[in-house]
Amino acid sequence: MRKMSDLGLFGSVYEQLHEYSDQFNKFLFTIRRHDGIQRTEARLRLAQLLRSVTDKQNNSPSAHIVRMVLQRELPRTLGQPVSICDTLADALEHRDPLPQELESLGKISIAVNTECYSTMERMQGKI
Amino acid sequence: MLQHNGANAGKDMIFSYYKAVLAQARERTKILKAKVSRPVKEPDLLALRQRCESHLDVILRELEELEKDEYLERPEMLRQKVSILKKIISNISYIETTGIAALDRMKGDDIFLTRLLFHIHEEIGYPLLPPAVTCLSRQYYSIYPMLGLVQVPLAEADSLLHLPDLYHEIGHPLTSSKDNPRVEPFTNALGRFMEFAGQHFETEYVRTQRSSGPRDYFGVVVRQLQQSWVIFWSQEIFCDLFALYTLGSAYAWSHFHLVAERCGDPYRVDLSGGSEHPPDSARMEALLAGLKLVGMNQESELIRKRWEEFLLKLGYSSNEMYIRACPSSLLHKAALCAFEGTKGIECTIVSSSVGTHLVGDLLNKAWIEFWKSPIEYAVWEKQVIKNLKKHLASSSSTFCA
C-alpha cells in the first residue's frame, strides 16, 4: 500500500526538478540552433545552471536533488563523476561547446528529463 | 525530400504518427479547459480552478512550441522530441485525473474539509494559499502541490484522528516553493539538512571503502541511503516536523495511529531504488525529539511510552541496517533544522498551553478524549464533528467541542 503523501513528495520532487530541466533544455536548444548574442547568452546561462549544481554553497533543495540525480546517472552515461559539470561550465563560460561537449550536455539533459518523467509516472502510480 | 522506399516510408509513418499524437494532445487539452470553465461551488475553489486553467495554458503553449520547432523536425532529434512530448502528455493526464476531476465532483464533504483547511492555514499563519480538499483518494492522504489540491479518503470528513495529516500535506508545497522570501527560511533549512545528510553518508561511504567487510555491498547500500535521504526522506521528515510544530502532539499520535493501524515493521529499511519514506520508527524518533524542542516533554514521554509498548507487544525491534540508515544524530538534526525553518517562516509554533485555535485545539483534544476512553470516543467524535460542520457552514454559529 502506498503510504501517505507519496504524491506530495513526488509532486515536490517534480517541482524541484522540472524547472531545472526546462531551463537546461531551453538553453541547450538555443545554443544548437542560434548564432550571435542569443547563442552567447544561452551558453552563459547554461554554464550558470551547471555551476548551480556543483556549487557546494548553493543550498537550495533543487540543487541538492539535481546533484544526486546526476551523481547517480552521469557515471554510467559519461564514465565521469559529477565534476564533468564543472568542466563543461568552464568551457561554456569562455567559448561555444565542442561536439563531444554538446553530446555530454545532451546526456545531462536526458538524465534530468528522465528523472522528471519517471517522477511524474510515480505520481500517477504507474511505477 | 525522402524517397518512397520501404525504410523511408517507415520513417515517414513514425513522423506522421507523432504529429497526429501532438494534435490529439492539443485537442484534449482544449476539451479539459472547457470542462473547467464553469462557475465554482465555493470561493475557496477559485484557486484550484485558476491553477488548472494556468497549467492547461502552459501545456497548450508547450505543444505549440514543440510543433513549430524546426530544429526538432530533424530525424536525429526525433528521440528528444518524443521525450518532450511524452512529458507533456503525462502532464495532461495528471491535470485531468486530479484537479479537473476534483472540481467536477465537489460535494458537501469536500467543501467542509476545504473550509477546515482554510481555517488551519489562518490559525498557523501558513504563508502559501491553502489547498482545496477532495475526498477522491483511493489510498491515503496526499497532496498535489502543483495544483494546490489535497486528496483524502471518502470518510475522512466524519473522523478526527487522521486529520492531523492535513498539516503534513501542506508542508510539501513549502519544500518546493521558489522565489518567495517569506518561505525561503524553510527551504534554506531543508537545504542545510540535505547537505548534512549528504555529507554524513559521504563520510560513511569513505569509511565502508576502508573497512575490511563486504565493501562493494555496503558501498552500494550507503549510496542508496544517501540518495533516499537527500531526495526523499529529508522532505518527508521535514513535513512531519512542520505538522508537529504547528499542530502539536496530535500529529505524533496520528503517526502512531497510522503505523499501528496500517503499516508493517516500523524498523524496516526499504533499499529498493528511490525508496520514498524513511522507516516509521525514524519518523517517530524525530517527532519525539521535536516535541522536546518545543518544551512538550511530558507529551513526548507519554507518546514514547505508548510507542515502545506497541513495539514490544507486536515484537518489533531495531536492527543493524536501521541503525546504519537512521542514526539518532541525523534525526535530531532534522528536528532542529525543521524547527528553525518553521520559526523562520513565522508560522505559529505550538506550546503546551491551550490556545485559541479552533481546529488545532480540537484535533489535540480528540486524542486526549480517545485515550481517556477509546471505546466511547466514537460518540464524542460524532457530536463534535456535527457541531464543527454546522459551525463551518455558517460563520454565525458558535462552535462547542
What is B91-137 written as a DSSP string?
HHHHHIIIIIHHHHH--HHHHHHHHHHHHHHHHHT-SSPPPEEES--
* CA distance linking residue B196 with residue B193, whole number of Å: 5
- Chain A positions touching B180 (Cβ under 8 A) are none
Residue type, B46: L
* CA distance linking residue B378 with residue B387, whole number of Å: 14
Q: Which of A11, A65, A120 sits opposite B145 (nearest CB)?
A: A11
- Split at pLDDT 50, 70, 90, the class of B2 is very low
Tell me whether residues B239 and A121 touch, CB distance under 8 A.
no
- Split at pLDDT 50, 70, 90, the class of A47 is very high
CA distance A73 to chain B (A): 12
Q: Does B181 contact chain A (CB < 8 Å)? A: no
Q: Does B97 contact chain A (CB < 8 Å)? A: yes
Percent of chain B having pLDDT more than 90? 69
State the best of B172, B200, B257, B277 to mutate against chain A, taking most chain A CBs within 10 Å: B172
Cell of B108: 458537501
Largest Cα separation within chain A, whole Å, is: 54
- Chain A positions touching B195 (Cβ under 8 A) are 56, 59, 64
Please state, rounded to an integer, the average pLDDT across all residues of chain A.
85
Percent of chain B having pLDDT more than 70? 94
pLDDT at B358: 87
pLDDT at B73: 84
CB B249 within 8 A of CB B296: yes
Which residue of chain A has the CA closest to B94?
A: A124
Beta strands in B174-268 (DSSP E): none
CA distance B194 to chain A (A): 7
Tell me whether residues A124 and B97 touch, CB distance under 8 A.
yes
| Stretch 72-101 of chain A: residues touching chain B, C-beta under 8 Å | 72
* CA distance linking residue B109 with residue B115, whole number of Å: 10
Interval B185-232: pLDDT, tens:
999 999 999 999 999 999 999 998 888 878 888 889 999 999 999 999
Minimum mean pLDDT range among A60-69, A87-96, A111-120, B111-120: A111-120
- Split at pLDDT 50, 70, 90, the class of A78 is low
- Split at pLDDT 50, 70, 90, the class of A80 is low
- Chain A positions touching B223 (Cβ under 8 A) are 72
**Within 10 Å of residue A52's Cβ, how many Cβ atoms?**
18
Average pLDDT over residues B18-41: 91
Helices (H), ranges, chain A: 6-33, 36-54, 61-78, 84-94, 99-123
CA distance A116 to chain B (A): 8
pLDDT of residue B341 exceeding 80, the answer is yes
Q: Which of the 8 DSSP states describes residue B398?
A: P
pLDDT of residue B332 exceeding 60, the answer is yes
Please state, rounded to an integer, the average pLDDT across all residues of chain B.
90
Tell me whether residues B145 and A4 touch, CB distance under 8 A.
no
pLDDT at B3: 46
* CA distance linking residue B380 with residue B362, whole number of Å: 12
Q: Which of the 8 DSSP states describes residue A125?
A: T
Radius of gyration for chain A, computed over Cα atoms and rounded to the nearest angstrom? 15
pLDDT of residue B354 exceeding 60, the answer is no
Average pLDDT over residues B42-62: 92
- Coil, helix or strand for B151? strand
Of B80-94, B156-170, B386-400, highest mean pLDDT: B156-170
- Chain B positions touching A109 (Cβ under 8 A) are 80
pLDDT at B399: 62
* CA distance linking residue B123 with residue B142, whole number of Å: 21
Tell me whether residues B276 and A10 touch, CB distance under 8 A.
yes
- Chain B positions touching A19 (Cβ under 8 A) are 178
Average pLDDT over residues B294-316: 95
CA distance A19 to chain B (A): 10
Minimum mean pLDDT range among A40-44, B61-65, B146-150: B146-150
pLDDT at B94: 85
Q: Does B83 contact chain A (CB < 8 Å)? A: yes
Tell me whether residues A12 and B172 touch, CB distance under 8 A.
yes
- Split at pLDDT 50, 70, 90, the class of A2 is very low
Tell me whether residues A60 and B175 touch, CB distance under 8 A.
no
Report yes or no on whether pTM surpasses 0.95.
Answer: no
State the best of B90, B133, B180, B200 to mutate against chain A, taking most chain A CBs within 10 Å: B90
pLDDT at B273: 61
CA distance A75 to chain B (A): 13
Cell of A87: 568542466
- How many beta-carbon pairs under 8 angstroms link A with B? 134
Percent of chain A having pLDDT more than 70? 88
State the best of A2, A6, A9, A127 to mutate against chain B, taking most chain B CBs within 10 Å: A9
pLDDT of residue B282 exceeding 90, the answer is yes
B133 forms beta bridges with B150
